[in-house]
Structures are given as C-alpha cells and as structure tokens.
Structure 1
Amino acid sequence: MKNKKILVWFRNDLRLHDNEMLVEAIAKSDSILPVYFFDPRYFENTRFETAKTGVLRSMFLLESILSLRKAFQQLGGDILLVQGKPEDKIRELVTQFEIAEVYHHREVGPEETEISGHVEDLLWTLKINLKHFIGHTLYNKEDLPFPIKDIPDVFAQFKKKTERDAIVKSCFLAPEHIDFVVHTSWGELPSLKDLGFDLNTDTIAEQYAVGGEEAGLLHLKSLLAADADIYLKHSTKHTPEKPGFSSRLSAWLAFGCLSPRMVYWKVKEAEGIFGLNANFNQVLLGLLWRDYFRFMFKKHGIAFFQERDLEKDILDATEFVNPALEKWKTGQTENPIVDRYMYDLNTTGFIPHTGRLLVATYLVHVLKIHWTCGAAYFEEKLIDYAPASNWGNWASVAGIGKDDAKSKNTFDLSKQIKILDVAISDSPSFA
C-alpha cells in the first residue's frame, strides 16, 4: 500500500525501549500516528463508592504521557492526545488520516479486554485490522513451556517450569528515527481538574515516584548501583537482604514506562558483575509473580475467582456503609501496623507487599469484610495498580485464588494474623 499509515494505540505501554508494537509499526509503515485516549470510564466511580483512578495515580499517568510526548518530540513528532472512549473516537481518526492498520497491546483485565473488543468490532466494519501485541510480561506466551490452557495454577510449579524451560528474549532497542503522520494539532495534556479532581478536597502528598520512562530508567540504574555498593561492602557474594528493602519499580512497570525484560536483563547484568544478591532475587521474583497473575487471568478470566456467589457477596458488601470498612480506609482501626500502612497508602499511593498482605488480612479475616471492597479501594489509591496483580493478590488473601493452599509460596494466614497480633513497628521487607 502506497504511503501506509499505522495508528499506534498506547495504553499501559508508555515507553520507547523494548516496545515491539512500536518497532513493528515503524518497520511496516511509511508513517505512524501515536495516540493516547483519555477514556472517561477510568475516572468514574465504582459500585464500591471508590474512584477507578485516584489523584496520585492520575498524576503519575500525566507525567508518564508527558515524558513519552517529549521523547517523540525529540524525534520530530508527537503523540495525539484524545479525550473520549477509543471506540467513539477511532473511526474519525482512521478516516481522517487514512489509517491502514491499528496496533495495540492486549490487556487481560475484563474491562480492558471489553474495550479492545469494542474497538476491534468497530474497525472490522471499516475493514481495518486491529493487531494485538503482548508486551507486558517477562515471558512471551509462545516462549512458555506450556500452552496457556495448561499453565500450572500453582505458582511454585509455574515458577519452576518457567525458569527451567522458558527463555527471556532480548529487548527491542528504542527507535532512533520515526516517520510521523503529518499533523498540526496534537492535543493538550489535560490537567487533574480536567480529569474531574477537585484539588481543594483531593489531598496530594509528596509522591514516592515521578512518572515516565526516563524517571523509571534512572530509578532502575540507581537501584542496581545502590545494591552493588552494598555488595562491595560485604565479603560474601550472597549478601543479606537490606532491612526494609523495596525496589519500588512497580509503578513504572504498571504503566509500561519500564519493560519487565529490561529490568530482568539489567539485574542479570549486575549479577554478572557483582554476584548473587538477595535483593536482586526479590526483583526477579516480583517479575514472575506479575507474569503468573497475568497468565492466570488470560487462562481463567473471571473464573480465577473461585467464589460461587461472588456477585451476591459484592451486592451484600456494598449495600450499606460499613463503619469498620471506613475506619480501615482512613487508618483508624486502632491496630498500629494497619493504621500506619493505610496512612502511607492514602498519602503516597504506595505500601510494600508485606504491608498489603497485612492490611488485607485485617480487612478480610479480622473485620470479616468482603475482599472485593479492599481490592476496589486499592484500585483507587495505588499508583502501581495493575488489575491482574491487585485482584489476584486479594483473591489469594481471601483464599479463593487458583494457587494451591499447600504451596509454600501461597498466602500464610496464620503468619499474617500473628504479625497483626504483635503489631510490630519494624519496617517490612520487599514489595
């Protein structure tokens, strides 16, 4: 096709490095049109009386998109910013710019998958192909030692077989040259107010992280350099894990500002220089857990939640305002460790994995409140919210996930209850 143009639909993949979708679009077209849709559905309230996206995650999103915009501008182009639902706006775009194909990354959450379906149906009527890419995982599905339908439901088995028999591919290089579709009005980056936030009532504390690919790569470099420095101060290669260690990479991974493969290979590079490191191992384990939950959602969909009356339980849990739930949300439970973590969550948008397990245990097993209420609140507050990991972890705490309770990697209720009873004040370990 003469002058073939491809629309590149960015979602949670806000980076240039290791972006197969972008690399292939550049290779298969004469010019590309990068687009980001500010979908109003992600800024609405839920049935749980929570916001789909809180103010802190919205700030991180805007910073990440601005970072990508600047990267494209340095290459002589830009990214088109569109207000509205993709399925409502994309017809006009593909017609106006004579688009031949649309590329996007496939998601696994039911809501995200439904949006892709709407867009695909619309494009089908226009005889335009929506090409799917999978760039959110460490392992490509075709490189796994089993088809999706046969992926082990037990994390320990998934980890063992994957680490033994699968390969992590090398990263795609960031493009150095891009031909962009000619356009004169690329759209304005919305403000928090434009997205529906009342800055008089939405408290914004100091963020623990700044959004964007550049910030993510700098954080990764700093993290590995810090652990290398710790290594040099110890005589053994097997250095102990730092007390309170957290990689804090999760927000950049959630928005796709960092590729999990980039993180993996940078860690492996550091290991090759400095030797084994417990903190490095924790980073790699975190990447595996991300893959596990995404592949579980791909395999099972909503059936991942093994709860017979899930819809009824949600209706019962949201029928009235529960004072205990409100105290949990605001950190007023009178359990010191729970309240401290909830304060951190509300003011920074982040708590480490250990803290998430503890506050979830308290909500589900002490207060006896349905787990989906907590998962929905985390969806609003977490900067690093990712559907599969968030809802999968909450299901594990509630005991309804697919991971076998006999697995040594599964949620340990008795351990969490003991910690809550003691209400320790020591800093937790890796998230």
Structure 2
Amino acid sequence: MKTAIVWFTTDLRLYDNEALKRAITQSESVIPVYCFDDSHFETSQYGFKKSGNFRTQFLLESLQDLDDNLRKMGSGLIILKGKPEVEIPKIVAEYRVRKVFAKREVAFEEKQTESVVQTALFKLRCELDTYSTSTLYHAEDLPFSLKDIPDVFTTFRKKTELDAAVRNVFDQPITIVSPEIPELILPTLKDLGLHFSPIDSRAAIQFKGGETEAMKRLNHYFFETKSLSAYKETRNGMVGEDYSSKFSAWLALGCISPRTIYHEIKKYEKEYGANESTYWLIFELLWRDFFRFMFKKHQTKFFLYSGIKGDKVNSKSLNKKLLSQWINGTTPSEFINANMIELKKTGFMSNRGRQNVASYFCNELNMDWRIGAAYFESQLIDYDVCSNWGNWAYLAGVGNDPRKHRYFNIEKQANDYDKDRAFRDLWLQ
C-alpha cells in the first residue's frame, strides 16, 4: 500500500492545508505526524527559553484539537519528540513511506531543519515534498522574482494588489485513510522543561489553541459582533477582546490560513458592505506576507545586529539591570510598564504596545535589539519568526523602514492611545 506522511509544523489545520490535500490525493494511506523539536525548547544565546509557557500551552491545545479533528475522519496524530531528522526517518522506515508532505519553511533555522530532514529521508529513498501554506499570496503569483521583491512595503503592496490574485482555499478532506494510529499522548509542559502559567484574568482575550477555536473567533469577530466593520478605527485599542481581530496566535501556528480569513472577509463584504476597515484587515495580512517574503529574500540577515541595512544606530550593549526593569515593568515609564506586565502575565500585547516597548528598548535603553526580539520570542503566544524579527529590525532601524530611525515619543503615545488611563490603571494596580 502506498503510504505517505504528513509532517505538521506550523500548519495545524485541516481546512486549506495543501500539504495534507496533496498527500491524500497522491497516496492510498496517510500518517499525520508532529515532532516536538528539542531545539525549540532550548535556551537561546540571549538567555531566554525559545518557547515559553504560554506559547507551548497554546501549541499543546492546538495539537489536541488537530488530533480530535483527524480522529473524526478516521485518522489521528502521531507525536514524536527529539530531532526531526532522527525521529521522522524512524516512522518512514517502519511504514515503508516513500514520500513526506510538509509546509515549506522560509526562516533560517526552519530551513536548516527542513534540509537535514530531506537529507536523512533521501538515504531511505524517500522524498520530501513541501508546499507554501502560510501566506495570503502564493510566492509564484507575485509580480516579481524573489531577488527583486521591493524592500519597501508600500511598493510591494501596491504592485501585488494590482497584479496578483489570492488563490482559492483547499477544502477540508471528508475522510482520511490511515493505518491504526494509537491514542494521542502529548508531552506535558514539565516534560518540555516548562510549567503551566494561567493567563491573567485581566487579559484582553483568553487564548485557546486549535483550528476549532480559530474558526469560532473568526465567526465571533466577523458575523456575531460585526467588529470587522470598525477594525480600522479600533485596531489601536489596548483594552478588551474586540478592538482587534486577535487572529495572530492562530495564524502563527497555522490553525487558520490567511486565505481563509481573506475569503471570509469577501463573504462578509457581500453581506454587510465593504469599507476601509474590511480592507485594512487584508492590508495587515499583506504585512505578514511581506515579512515572510523578506525572510526568503534576505535569509540570515534579519538575525544579525546590522539587519538588512548594514549600519547600526543603537548600541550592542547589555545592561542587565535595565533589561530586568524592562521585562518586569519597573522602568520610569508607566506606559511601558503596563505593556510589559501584560506581556509577562498573558503572553500577549497590542500592536500599539509592541511598537512602543520596542522603540523604548532600542532608543531609550539603547541595547542590542535582538535581546528584545528574543524575549518576545520566548514570551509571545502569537510568536511568528518572520513577523517578530522583521518588526523588531524595523523598529531598530535596520529592517524595512524607509525612514531610517523611527522614534516613538512614549508619553505622547500614552496620551493618544490611553487617554483615560484605562490600560495603565488595569495593569498597574
């Protein structure tokens, strides 16, 4: 029997999953697999756990939901733990698999893992087939080659909107033929060197992982509350569940695809009318695309001190006392403190907050921006390698910002976006 493996990574969904769809079409039997990669739970060179408590809890919930949904279709999820290049070939050998289907990666470490897995599979005469499943626009449909993608977002956006189209989604499979797959056994947070941190009750939203929850959130934000129609006016908010879509955590793990969101926006526009707000959510999805394509183009440069610019503005220093004050929300700025306490206690921070705390880190504290980016990587539920490092490089003046040195006046920002002090009072009590 022709058996294939679907190696899930950050595409933890059944709807609009090309790798899964191709595997079902090209094989008689499919084995869904997820590998807890040891390297994701190590301490980075900057001294932070790469995957922190909040994000890992969200991942475990997402995998449980994926297994539940696979079981409804006659399949299930096999969990591996270790190095993917060691663990995946074991399953390949056991089931005599000739092809592994997976999501195509773009960032440096993820590409390296993909490459070593491919080499290990080749020795077993097994192919690795990868598909681009994370972006709104498919790379092949862009109006420029990879090396010619503009480094300025506005130029990229205008040409892409004019000359490219968003592809249709892939339907969810109806049934999946699999060999008998044992009951799901997930590692505990303790097994992964972490511990359970409940999300603080003051959190803007109580995130729960999985495709089921992602679709619930979409339905709530679009069709139940019609919050989408006011998105552009409210997106800079800081308190409450519906000032922004909050899709980022589910997008980061691929519990929902950007194309699904796009086509649901189009459906919403037909029913309730299009306006600046409905467009603006697509605009934000385009920013997400832009950073992914930038990582394809520039590869390791986004992890270098000098970024893609080659010159540096802030210092390369580390001041442990100032870093601790920033992390724990004990700086001289109440606005920064409120945001950093929110992040520490919930794994989330508003877009407005992120820009301010990053600007403060780079300009006021004048430390190596990568330390801030690495702390975010550990702490954020919605950590996405391209968006996180791309945005930090942008704020540090070494990324895609055409204005060389963007500086936020923190007190002005606090007065503009937290006029009544509701946000500061919530987190500083």
Q: Residue 193 of structure 1 aligns to which amino acid in structure 2? A: K
CA contact (8 A) 2:222 2:228 kept: no
Please give the alpha-carbon distance, in whole angstroms, between the structure 2 residues aligned to 1:417 and 1:153: 31
Please give the alpha-carbon distance, in whole angstroms, between the structure 2 residues aligned to 1:395 and 1:54: 22
Name the stretch that deviates more: 106-115 or 7-16: 106-115
CA RMSD of aligned residues (A): 2.4
Please give the alpha-carbon distance, in whole angstroms, between the structure 2 residues aligned to 1:309 and 1:380: 27
Please give the alpha-carbon distance, in whole angstroms, between the structure 1 residues aligned to 2:264 and 2:351: 22
How far the C-alpha of 1:255 sits from its partner, in A, is 0.4
CA contact (8 A) 1:14 1:255 kept: yes
Alignment of 1:289-308 (within 5 A): 289-304=287-302, 305-306=307-308, 308=310
- For residue 129 of structure 2, give the secondary structure of its aligned residue in structure 1: strand
Aligned twin of 2:281: 283
Provide, for residues 45-99 of structure 1, a one-character-per-residue CA deviation record: whole Å limited to 9, x for no partner.
1111111011011110000000000001111111101111111112211110010
Please give the alpha-carbon distance, in whole angstroms, between the structure 1 residues aligned to 2:125 and 2:116: 14
Aligned twin of 1:242: 234
CA contact (8 A) 2:397 2:406 kept: no
Provide, for residues 119-145 of structure 1, a one-character-per-residue CA deviation record: whole Å limited to 9, x for no partner.
011111122111111100000011111
Aligned length: 408
CA contact (8 A) 2:360 2:408 kept: no
- Tell me, yes or no, if structure 1 residue 193 matches structure 2 residue 185: no
- Tell me, yes or no, if structure 1 residue 347 matches structure 2 residue 339: no
Name the stretch that deviates more: 271-280 or 159-168: 271-280
How far the C-alpha of 1:277 sits from its partner, in A, is 3.5
Aligned twin of 1:60: 58
Aligned twin of 1:39: 37
Are the structure 2 counterparts of residues 146 and 71 from structure 1 closer, same or farther at C-alpha, using a change threshold of 3 Å? same
Provide, for residues 7-43 of structure 1, a one-character-per-residue CA deviation record: whole Å limited to 9, x for no partner.
1000000000000110110000000010000111111
Are the structure 2 counterparts of residues 367 and 423 from structure 1 closer, same or farther at C-alpha, using a change threshold of 3 Å? farther
Please give the alpha-carbon distance, in whole angstroms, between the structure 2 residues aligned to 1:173 and 1:230: 24
Are the structure 2 counterparts of residues 258 and 230 from structure 1 closer, same or farther at C-alpha, using a change threshold of 3 Å? closer
Q: Residue 162 of structure 2: which of 138, 161, 164 is its match?
A: 164
How far the C-alpha of 1:415 sits from its partner, in A, is 5.5
Q: Residue 84 of structure 1: which of 78, 82, 85 is its match?
A: 82
Aligned twin of 1:15: 13
Please give the alpha-carbon distance, in whole angstroms, between the structure 1 residues aligned to 2:252 and 2:308: 25
CA contact (8 A) 1:81 1:186 kept: no
Please give the alpha-carbon distance, in whole angstroms, between the structure 2 residues aligned to 1:43 and 1:25: 29
TM-score of the pair, normalised by structure 2:
0.89
Please give the alpha-carbon distance, in whole angstroms, between the structure 1 residues aligned to 2:139 and 2:214: 25
Please give the alpha-carbon distance, in whole angstroms, between the structure 1 residues aligned to 2:324 and 2:232: 39
How far the C-alpha of 1:423 sits from its partner, in A, is 8.8
Q: Residue 214 of structure 2: which of 213, 216, 223 is its match?
A: 216
Q: Residue 56 of structure 1 aligns to which amino acid in structure 2? A: F
Gaps of 5+ in 2: 238-242, 424-429
Please give the alpha-carbon distance, in whole angstroms, between the structure 2 residues aligned to 1:204 and 1:269: 33
Please give the alpha-carbon distance, in whole angstroms, between the structure 2 residues aligned to 1:101 and 1:290: 30
Aligned twin of 1:122: 120
Q: Residue 330 of structure 2: which of 332, 335, 349 is its match?
A: 332
Name the stretch that deviates more: 37-46 or 381-390: 37-46
Aligned twin of 2:365: 367
- For residue 38 of structure 1, give the secondary structure of its aligned residue in structure 2: strand
Are the structure 2 counterparts of residues 328 and 415 from structure 1 closer, same or farther at C-alpha, using a change threshold of 3 Å? closer
TM-score of the pair, normalised by structure 1:
0.89
- Tell me, yes or no, if structure 1 residue 228 matches structure 2 residue 226: yes
Q: Residue 349 of structure 1 aligns to which amino acid in structure 2? A: G
Aligned twin of 1:102: 100
